Structure 1
Amino acid sequence: MTLNNKLRIAMLGQKNLDRSGGIEVVVTELSTRMVKLGHNVVCYNRRGHHVSGKEFDSDIKDNYQGVKIKAVPTIDKKGLAAMTSSFFAALYCAFGKYDIVHFHAEGPCAMLWIPKLFGKKCIVTVHGLDHRRAKWKNGFGSKYILFGEKVAVKYADEIIVLSKGVQDYFKNTYNRETVFIPNGVNKPEIKEASLIKQKYKLEKDSYILYLGRIVPEKGLRYLIKAFKDVRTDKKLVIAGGASDTDSFFNEMRELAKDDQRIVFTGFVQGQVLEELYSNAYVYTLPSDLEGMPLSLLEGMSYGNCCLTSDIAECTEVVSDRAVIFRKSDINELREKLQYLVDNSDIADKYKSIASDYICEKYNWDEIVEKTVELYRV
């Protein structure tokens, strides 16, 4: 450790410090807050295009709010980008002067042995059981991610998990103890419908919102099928970009094409994202698989009535402050949507209790404090 008790920390596994995915949001929140506490943080980011398309590319800077950024060599092709960027990041970390090397996600952990070989203290955050995700389920991708998981189990000094379910998985599968430190959320500023009114003709409470990646495990197929049978003038807004899943994105557009109420916005950020959260009638997350869904935390933080599947990773977050339906059950999802559309007083009740609950329970400053304490163990 450094003499002044301030830590030298490296983070890898993220694409960039932005909102392109949950891992990116988490790394941004952790690293910027750690810098404010006086620690030295370096983030090793991938090169290559934004996951939702090169039109969202931004210049790679060497500093973000005090966090040093280093872009590592990356083969920008599906299946190779994460592997190559993780290899070079791990190599740089091995030779760098760091007290802590913090790996994010299971796939990058395949390279954890490299800094470990050079005596570095390695911490892992498992953001979800990625080898179960649809886009990696068959072939090399799933095997590689599972290999990363096993490397983490064997060599990581500490493993952070985001849900009790994943904690049980590591205990039952590997007899490996893990540390539960959830994600956090910030208290947002509510925005009036301005840009979304211009771009999509959306008014306050005129739409049901899904905001996240357009991937199979998020349950969008159920959502679209269920919504098509809901009697309402409200729209269904599906906001998010594809993540190596263009074929699925196109399939969802095809499924929705005969219902003019369904709006696809593509990837959103900045004011548009804030306005979408601020003015939704219901926020819904019908996922089959999650780590700890940041979009659900954010949806509640904006004071939304939330409707989510009954997987443990979601129900642990919302407790009794949201509406729940059985995972994959299209009929029950349709019934709950219809119920909320027909009973605005019920939706308003959930809106009134969501924000204060979630912002108090999942506070980023407390989460950073717990993470730094773990670094020092």
Structure 2
Amino acid sequence: MKIAMIGQKGIPSRAGGIEIHVGEISERLAFLGCDVEVYCRRDYCDRRFDGESYKGIIIKYTPYIRSKHLDTITHTFTSTISALLSHCDIFHYHALGPSTLAFIPRLFGKRVVCTVHGLDWQRGKWGKLASLYLKLGEYATARFSHKTINVSKNLVNYYREKYGLETGYIPNGVERPDLMKPMLIKEKYGLDKDDYILFLARLVPEKGVHYLIDAFGRIRTDKKLIIAGGASHSEKYENELRLLAGSNENIIFTGFVRDLELAELYSNAYFYVLPSDVEGLPISLLEAMSYGNCCLVSDITENTDVIGSIGYSFKKSNVRDLEQKLGMLLENKSRVLKVKGLAGQYILNKYNWDQIAVSTKHVYTAVAESGKKTSKKWRMKDDGKRQTLN
């Protein structure tokens, strides 16, 4: 079975949750015997593998127009054509924008799977026209895909209510990390263990970093607030965040982080905050919990489903409630430590990449088998006329 992964920026990459998801399941699917081709945008990959395989995966770089509005769709188109020429059996599109082109492989009799990582048209960085196009992508995932996968149970309910469609539920996952001592972050930012509150994700409006900076500025504390992450076609928003932080020396912007710096920030945070308005299934939250962090999240279903009873939440978009919850955790270390003792094992049991890859392969097998049954539905009568087999 030959699989084409289309829609991600590329692998290996930490550009976003989709890239992490595709990288993790592709490696495992290759181990499970699938021929996996991952279509990448060269400029977004941490490393390049021209003519080489990566962890059993075939990496293919296809051209695209690098701009906020044309980047994804042009790369999806060239990747789709390349995958057709490569005779892929299953075309697996990730996210709403790329899924708008899912009809193309269907025209050629190919099997199509779409994974919805979130309702991207809700995200604040897109204008009206782009949001309308992403809504078309949502429709495409429901109508052009042989099987639609959602990464959260809330999205499964959404597709059931809006389209009358029973979609699959396959979440993101996480691996057990190695805890690191604060060495690099001490050298770069003067940070020691439990010195800081951590936000780590892309700097885009729907992540709600502005609420966090506002709420933190109202609190008296010696803790630092670390804002770790880069912009994603949202440089204007990042500049607004820096203006909001002003001259507050306790707020530190690190920019995009990865590797050792990323691990040290997760390992030594006092607690982690994710104040988002919109999510699919936030990998940064899974990662924060895997490092044993106490997490404070906005009360959207996609966040509260992850933390369950192991963590704290505040009212979405409510700066006053966020301020109160921040203050409560800063003043009650025993509450933070109690959650820290439970979070790691809880999240590792709940979200496992190995099982996620197996579940994804089951979807491929079911889609492929249904295609074989459809192709056998017709047979020719002796007189040359077609009839449907019961």
| Separation in 1, partners of 2:242, 2:46 | 24
Residue 200 of structure 1 corresponds to which residue in structure 2?
A: 189
SS in 2 for 1:38: coil
More displaced 10-residue stretch of structure 1: 235-244 or 84-93: 84-93
| Separation in 2, partners of 1:117, 1:298 | 40
| Separation in 2, partners of 1:262, 1:247 | 19
Confirm or deny that 1:99 pairs with 2:89.
Answer: yes
Confirm or deny that 1:46 pairs with 2:37.
Answer: no
* TM-score, length-scaled by structure 1: 0.94
Residue 292 of structure 1 corresponds to which residue in structure 2?
A: 281
Residue 151 of structure 2 corresponds to which residue in structure 1?
A: 162
What aligned pairs does 1:232-271 form with structure 2 within 5 A after superposition?
Answer: 232-271=221-260
The amino acid of 1:367's aligned partner reads I
Residue 388 of structure 2 corresponds to which residue in structure 1?
A: none
What aligned pairs does 1:186-335 form with structure 2 within 5 A after superposition?
Answer: 186-335=175-324
SS in 1 for 2:276: coil
The amino acid of 1:63's aligned partner reads S
The amino acid of 1:20's aligned partner reads A
Residue 21 of structure 2 corresponds to which residue in structure 1?
A: 26
Larger radius of gyration: 2
The amino acid of 2:285's aligned partner reads L
Residue 168 of structure 2 corresponds to which residue in structure 1?
A: 179
SS in 2 for 1:367: helix
* TM-score, length-scaled by structure 2: 0.91
The C-alpha deviation readout for 1:71-95, integer Å capped at 9, x for no partner, is 1110011100101000111122233
| Separation in 2, partners of 1:60, 1:201 | 37
| Separation in 2, partners of 1:164, 1:363 | 16
1:169 Cα deviation from its structure 2 partner: 1.4
SS in 1 for 2:115: strand
Confirm or deny that 1:10 pairs with 2:12.
Answer: no
Residue 30 of structure 2 corresponds to which residue in structure 1?
A: 35
Which of 114, 137, 140 aligns to 1:148? It is 137
| Separation in 2, partners of 1:108, 1:330 | 35
| Separation in 2, partners of 1:46, 1:157 | 26
Contact preservation (8 Å) 1:95, 1:118: no
More displaced 10-residue stretch of structure 1: 61-70 or 240-249: 61-70
1:163 Cα deviation from its structure 2 partner: 1.2
The C-alpha deviation readout for 1:150-190, integer Å capped at 9, x for no partner, is 12211101000011211121112222221111111001000
The amino acid of 1:146's aligned partner reads K
1:58 Cα deviation from its structure 2 partner: 4.4
| Separation in 1, partners of 2:314, 2:120 | 24
Contact preservation (8 Å) 1:60, 1:71: no
Residue 370 of structure 2 corresponds to which residue in structure 1?
A: none
| Separation in 1, partners of 2:168, 2:95 | 15
Residue 363 of structure 1 corresponds to which residue in structure 2?
A: 352
Which of 338, 345, 357 aligns to 1:349? It is 338
1:59 Cα deviation from its structure 2 partner: 3.7
More displaced 10-residue stretch of structure 1: 193-202 or 173-182: 173-182
Confirm or deny that 1:122 pairs with 2:112.
Answer: yes
The C-alpha deviation readout for 1:81-113, integer Å capped at 9, x for no partner, is 101000111122233222211110010011111
| Separation in 1, partners of 2:297, 2:28 | 30
The C-alpha deviation readout for 1:178-219, integer Å capped at 9, x for no partner, is 111111100100011010111111100000000000011101
Percent identity among equivalent residues?
47
Residue 122 of structure 2 corresponds to which residue in structure 1?
A: 132
For structure 1, the residue ranges without an aligned partner over 5 or more in a row are 1-6, 51-55
RMSD: 1.2
What aligned pairs does 1:56-135 form with structure 2 within 5 A after superposition?
Answer: 58-59=47-48, 61=50, 62-135=52-125
The C-alpha deviation readout for 1:251-295, integer Å capped at 9, x for no partner, is 000100221100000000110000000000001100000000000
| Separation in 2, partners of 1:131, 1:346 | 37
1:350 Cα deviation from its structure 2 partner: 0.6
1:63 Cα deviation from its structure 2 partner: 2.5
The amino acid of 1:258's aligned partner reads S
The amino acid of 2:26's aligned partner reads S
For structure 2, the residue ranges without an aligned partner over 5 or more in a row are 367-390
| Separation in 1, partners of 2:24, 2:191 | 30
The C-alpha deviation readout for 1:97-150, integer Å capped at 9, x for no partner, is 2221111001001111111111111111000000111111x2321111111221
SS in 2 for 1:236: strand
* Matched positions, count: 364
